[in-house]
Amino acid sequence: MKWWGSDKDRKNERVYLDWASATPLLPEAKVAMEPFLGSDFGNASSIHKEGQVARETVEGARDRVARALQTRSEYVTFTAGGTEANNLAILGTVNYLHHNERNYSEMEIVTTRIEHPSVSRVVEYLSGLGVLVKYVDVDEEGFVILAHLRELLSESTVLFSVAYANSEIGVVQKLHRLKKVLREAEERFGSKIMFHLDGAQAPLWLNCQMDSAGADLLSLDSGKFCGPKGVGLLVSSKRAKVENVIYGGGQEAGLRPGTENVAGIVGAGTAMADAQANWRERAQIARAVRDEGIKILLKDIPEAILNGPSGEYRLANNINISIPYLDTEYATVWLDSKGFSVSTKSACSGAGGGESVVVKVVSNNSVRASSTLRFTIGPDTSISQLQKLANNLRKFIDKTTNL
């Protein structure tokens, strides 16, 4: 499956291995966006012809997303990114309940300690308002421990939030098992517990159809599935009740005020349709390259430790290793000079040094958490490229350990 040019074009290209941070814009999405960056500049809230063209485009993109995710278009809300979608899901749920005569102190949220900052910092904020935040344990591979989740849920639990696929160690949660625990708790307590999934890393590699995911709220980020940056989506179920968290006009059914980013929205709709139409083939190809890449890295660098699970419950394009006592920030810069774009952890967790919170939680080892490297491959990453990466990383290790 070729995406970004011929083999001849790629010979002297850099090897980009940071797809978890940013993805290239799908060519079809770029084509769809171009008119709305120029001649078709109308405001989708205007009633004249130019405005109606914009409105029809926005609604057409919403329909494409809804079809791709097997839901209804009225349940799709466009935001300015995945962070805003997570904020709207979590704060919006609590705001709705609070404005319907439920005190903050009467509500509980359950999440994990390995979530993206756009989730972890939101629940910390709500904790300051009086909401009780409970953290469910995860095992050494990052899976939610179901027995502990059962213990934590109560009649006051209003929301459970977790990443569909963790952006650092690639663990894909077993959603059907989580959903079963939540529904059993609802029956036990006679309550409703909203199931929120941070699905930012999922659309290129996993099934995101709402029935399959089983979520009440699904947050997505266009920039992670080959759409434009600065566009996100919150997809809701029929039973989810969410209130706006910013104030202004009545756009997006009042949930997300502000003039619509028409170009970005049409690009996101195009990219989402492609992402979900081809995820199986894309994931199958990437998984084979990923597994061979892991074998190569662990063989050539025996001191390396794989973080996260192996097999089908690891995100198809994710490789995350620790090399204890190695300066992996320096390694990232050195690899960059050799033509490899890699990362140490989530870009939103900070570009500087320090521990990976995710790896620290799953390993309980500061040395391992301070020495992580993340390689997230694309649909056309090759095994030979990963072999070259391993060769260069081995040279770096030998060079720095002999100083």
Yes or no: say if 349 and 327 are a contact pair by the CB < 8 Å rule: no
In the structure encoding, which two tokens stand for residue 169, read together? Answer: 């160690």
User: Is residue 226 annotated as a catalytic residue, yes or no?
Assistant: no
Cα-only R_g, the chain: 22
- Phi and psi dihedrals of 340, rounded to 5? -115, 125
377-402 b/e (C-beta count within 10 Å ≥ 16 → b): bbbbbeeebbebbbebbeebbeeeee
Rounded to whole angstroms, the Cα distance separating 105 from 127 reads 9
Yes or no: say if 110 and 134 are a contact pair by the CB < 8 Å rule: yes
Strands 340-341 and 217-221, by their bridges, are unpaired
Rounded to whole angstroms, the Cα distance separating 205 from 28 reads 19
Yes or no: say if 21 and 237 are a contact pair by the CB < 8 Å rule: no
What SS3 class is residue 105? helix
Rounded to whole angstroms, the Cα distance separating 275 from 301 reads 34
In the structure encoding, which two tokens stand for residue 349, read together? Answer: 């967790």
Q: 136: phi > 0 → left, psi -120 to 50 → alpha, else beta; which? A: beta
Rounded to whole angstroms, the Cα distance separating 401 from 60 reads 57
Residue from 272, 230, 206 nearest 32 by CA: 272
CA distances from 57 to 44, 81, 96, 278, 340 (A): 9, 19, 30, 23, 38
- Identify any residues that bridge with 155 across adjacent strands, giving them in sequence order: none
What SS3 class is residue 27? helix
CA distances from 90 to 9, 99, 243 (A): 44, 14, 10
Report the run of H or E that residue 375 belongs to, with start and end: strand 372-376
Of the residues 348, 365, 380, 387, only one is catalytic, namely 348
- Residues marked active site are found at 348
